Amino acid sequence: MTEPNLVSAYASEAERDAEVSVRPRRLADFIAQHRVRDQLDLLLQGAMRRGSPPDHILLSGPPGLGKTSLANIVAAELGTGIRVTSGPAIERSGDLAAILTSLAEGDVLFIDEIHRIARPAEELLYSAMEDFRVDVVVGKGPGATAIPLDVEPFTLVGATTRSGLLTGPMRDRFGFVAHLDFYSPADLEALLHRSARILGVPITDDGAAEIAGRSRGTPRIANRLLRRVRDFAEVRADGVVTLETARAALTVYDVDALGLDRLDRAVLTALVDSFRGGPVGLSTLAVAVGEQPDTVEEVCEPFLVRAGLLARTPRGRVATEAAWHHLGRIPPNGTFGLDAPPVPDLFTRAPEQP
């Protein structure tokens, strides 16, 4: 399995297969996210008491936080079947009509990346969600007729990493919207103990804590780092994941104490050492680390900003005081960072000085 970026929140196809064994199956196995869990529990229990399918459910949040897991859990808790598809996979509305009309009563239809569904299919979905009915158009041109078809009552579970891209009418048709947040280190520690138990990996509390702290609040990354540390523990040590093996392994894999990888650290180091902490324009910063601006902006910056190490300002990128400390540098006194004059950007016009 190739995992080029150990701390990416995205998964390759191979990794999605590796994830199946540790995927939580029931609500009780789903670690943390207590608010979402409680709300879902009420929704599902209420529906089961009434004997009718629950409202349609929208799960939104960054990659790797458990949307697909929750969609499967919904079906497992309801004891119903689940059909899985995704926005990009539904090219024609006919494809969707075929899926909808083949659902059994009470089934869950899971549409991943629902923000990427094509518009005609989306419109078909509206009537299915609202009235459990679809109009299938037969024929072309003036002779075309719409044949109304019934759809069994079902529950749509939609997942999206970009809820802002959903259309208003789409969002309004979900009766229940859950937003998944990043996990705390303590939550990830619990998650790692669970995964280690399933994988048969002996792990100590401080070993789990060490991996949790480097996992960027993301279960997928925690599980991935656990698999890599397990390799290291088995090959170079006695197979037990301890504080020492976790530290040694993650040093080998170039994942630092905050979960930054080589490129993240290169960006911060360039910012601090070459540009006195900034502000510096994105394209200059990208050249300094030998990467495309898009890569720096989309791969590195979101986490650096979230971790409070980098700020995006109108005058350019700035290293925060925490970034200096994280790199083991002493932040300069007086004007640096947010107050400093900007370093002119290579490819864009430097901002006017006030």
Ligand X SMILES: Nc1ncnc2c1ncn2[C@@H]1O[C@H](COP(=O)(O)OP(=O)(O)OP(=O)(O)O)[C@@H](O)[C@H]1O
User: At 91, phi and psi to the nearest 5?
Assistant: -85, -40
Decide whether 22 or 111 has the Cβ nearer to ligand X. 22
* Distance of closest approach, residue 223 Cβ to ligand X, in angstroms: 6
110 touches ligand X by CB under 6 A: no
Given 115, 193, 216, 220, the residue binding ligand X (CB under 6 A): 220
67 carries a ligand binding annotation: yes
223 touches ligand X by CB under 6 A: yes
| Structure-block tokens of residue 106 | 């009470």
SS3 label, residue 188: helix
Given 53, 57, 58, 68, the residue binding ligand X (CB under 6 A): 68
The residue type at 106: G
Decide whether 64 or 217 has the Cβ nearer to ligand X. 64
140 carries a ligand binding annotation: no
Provide the pairing of β-strand 108-112 with 155-160.
parallel
11 touches ligand X by CB under 6 A: yes
The residue type at 354: P
Decide whether 56 or 265 has the Cβ nearer to Mg ion. 56
Give the interface segment with Mg ion, choosing from 67-75, 175-183, 253-261, 289-297 (CB under 5 A). 67-75
CA-based angle 22:27:31, to the nearest 5? 60
Catalytic residue positions? 67-68, 112, 161, 220
In the DSSP assignment, the letter for residue 257 is: T
Decide whether 65 or 271 has the Cβ nearer to ligand X. 65
CB 105 within 8 A of CB 152: yes
Given 24, 106, 277, 342, the residue binding ligand X (CB under 6 A): 24
Given 67, 173, 214, 265, the residue binding ligand X (CB under 6 A): 67
204 carries a ligand binding annotation: no
195 touches Mg ion by CB under 5 A: no
CB 5 within 8 A of CB 149: no
Decide whether 74 or 309 has the Cβ nearer to Mg ion. 74
CB 232 within 8 A of CB 252: yes
* Distance of closest approach, residue 266 Cβ to Mg ion, in angstroms: 30
68 touches Mg ion by CB under 5 A: yes
* Distance of closest approach, residue 109 Cβ to Mg ion, in angstroms: 15
Largest alpha-carbon pair distance within the chain?
78
- The CA–CA distances, whole Å, from 215 to 82, 186, 278, 334 equal 30, 11, 27, 34
The residue type at 5: N
CA torsion, ordered 44, 45, 47, 51, to nearest 10 deg: 130
253 carries a ligand binding annotation: no
Residues 6 or more apart whose CB falls under 8 angstroms from that of 326 comprise: 258, 260, 268, 309
| Structure-block tokens of residue 216 | 């960027």
Binding mask 128-167 for ligand X (x = CB under 6 A): ---------------------------------x------
Residue closest to Mg ion (Cβ): 68
d(CA 264, CA 268): 6
Burial of 316 (0-12, 13-18, 19+ CB in 10 A): buried
Decide whether 33 or 163 has the Cβ nearer to ligand X. 33
63 touches ligand X by CB under 6 A: yes
- In the annotated binding site for ATP, the residues are 23, 64, 67-69, 130-132, 173, 183, 220
- In the annotated binding site for DNA, the residues are 312, 317
**Residues at the contact surface with Mg ion, assessed by CB under 5 A:** 67-68
**Residues at the contact surface with ligand X, assessed by CB under 6 A:** 10-11, 19, 22-24, 30-33, 63-69, 161, 191, 219-220, 223
